[in-house]
Structure 1
Amino acid sequence: MYQTVESFIQDYRNESESTSKLLSALTDESLRQEMAPGYRTLGHLAWHLVPSGGILHPTGLTFDAPPERSAPPATAAAIAEKYRKTADSLMEAVRTQWTDEKLQETSIVFGQPWKNGLTLYLFLKHEVHHRGQLTILMRLAGLPVTGVYGPSKEEWAAIGMEAPAL
């Protein structure tokens, strides 16, 4: 749970930069990649990473975001650009609309009383979770994957090293 607005901003800035790098590696063709019939395509998953009201709506935080459950754009570049703009808008909203004290206030989210600092924490973990799914679909689509918490296989190779075996 976040105790300060600035701690969320710092974490989200770092995490959103990683997400943005991955989204920038998508191609229009890759957006149709699916893991299995009946599951999200890479394009739908990428669009799901763009912040929307969702989990944050009950807290009263307002920021410029696409409508909940809207159809994804047709191009990878449009998804990546909307992600960057929306992430920036979210950080600005938290910075200007909330105080550290506001993070201690409780809102009803999914029928449960959650402190706003917890809601921000779970919002960020939700993005990290789906970003992991994104990297798997990117591999299946034959796209390069950028490292998030360490170098990817391609990044190890670029510095002349072999990725450690697991």
Structure 2
Amino acid sequence: MYTAISQFIDEWNQEAASTQKVLDALTDQSLQQKISPEDRTLGSIAWHIVASTPGMLMEFGVTVKGVENELSVPTSAREIAETFRSVSAETSEAIRQQWTDENLSETKNVFGRELQKASMLNMLIKHIVHHRGQMTVLMRQAGVQVPGIYGPSREEWSQMGMEAPSI
């Protein structure tokens, strides 16, 4: 649990950078990849991460600008990636400017539950990590190279002249 805004900012910046690597690897063609006819496309999951981040922050009581056309998934992978770049920077700055370390223990009703602000920030990070994981599976199915997140990807192991661990 965060006890200082700087802890959240550090973790947010790390996880947002990893998410940015994934978004930067997308292609326009890959955005249409889906696991089944009933599920979201890769592009709609990517856009959900982008558009829902400011929405979650606003639900938490943080003032940020929303994403234009949040319900319309762009057909450009670059647009999705560039919009997240802005959203990510704005997230760090808004929390830094609007909340203090002391605020983190305050509670607020969000999404029908009483949560401490520190828990809200943790939820925000878990949300992008969760969807980022979904994206990497769809990226593989779409033939897009997946960047390493918490270590090298299979392709990165190969580029280093090594075989990826089998476990």
TM-score (norm 2): 0.95
Whether the aligned pair in 2 keeps the contact of 1:22 and 1:146 (CA below 8 Å) is yes
Matched, 1:110 2:111: yes
- The RMSD of aligned alpha carbons is 1.3
CA-CA distance at 1:160 after TM superposition: 0.5
Whether the aligned pair in 2 keeps the contact of 1:54 and 1:68 (CA below 8 Å) is no
Whether the aligned pair in 2 keeps the contact of 1:31 and 1:44 (CA below 8 Å) is yes
Q: State the partner residue of 1:23.
A: 23
CA–CA distance in structure 1, aligned partners of residues 112 and 46 of structure 2: 27
Q: Which has the higher helix share?
A: 2
What does the per-residue CA deviation read over 1:89-119, in whole Å, with 9 as the maximum and x for residues that have no partner? 0100000111001111111012111011100
- Secondary structure in 2 matching 1:27: coil
CA-CA distance at 1:65 after TM superposition: 3.0
CA-CA distance at 1:69 after TM superposition: 4.8
Q: Aligned runs of 1:21-100 on 2, under 5 Å? A: 21-50=21-50, 51-66=52-67, 69-100=70-101
Higher mean alpha-carbon deviation, 2-11 vs 46-55, is at 46-55
Q: State the partner residue of 1:156.
A: 157
- Secondary structure in 2 matching 1:107: strand
Q: State the partner residue of 1:2.
A: 2
User: Which amino acid in structure 2 is aligned with residue 132 of structure 1?
Assistant: G
Whether the aligned pair in 1 keeps the contact of 2:53 and 2:124 (CA below 8 Å) is no
CA–CA distance in structure 2, aligned partners of residues 97 and 41 of structure 1: 34
Whether the aligned pair in 1 keeps the contact of 2:54 and 2:87 (CA below 8 Å) is no
Gaps of 5+ in 1: none
What does the per-residue CA deviation read over 1:46-83, in whole Å, with 9 as the maximum and x for residues that have no partner? 10111434333232101233168521112000000000
CA–CA distance in structure 1, aligned partners of residues 72 and 3 of structure 2: 35
CA–CA distance in structure 1, aligned partners of residues 162 and 11 of structure 2: 29
TM-score (norm 1): 0.95
Gaps of 5+ in 2: none
CA–CA distance in structure 1, aligned partners of residues 102 and 70 of structure 2: 31
CA-CA distance at 1:151 after TM superposition: 0.5
CA–CA distance in structure 2, aligned partners of residues 26 and 102 of structure 1: 37
Q: How many residues align?
A: 166
Whether the aligned pair in 2 keeps the contact of 1:59 and 1:107 (CA below 8 Å) is yes
CA–CA distance in structure 2, aligned partners of residues 120 and 114 of structure 1: 10
User: Which amino acid in structure 1 is aligned with residue 21 of structure 2?
Assistant: K
1:116 to 1:68, Cα distance in 2 relative to 1, 3 A: farther
- Secondary structure in 1 matching 2:157: helix
- Secondary structure in 1 matching 2:101: coil
Identity %: 47
What does the per-residue CA deviation read over 1:118-156, in whole Å, with 9 as the maximum and x for residues that have no partner? 000011011101100000000000000001011000100
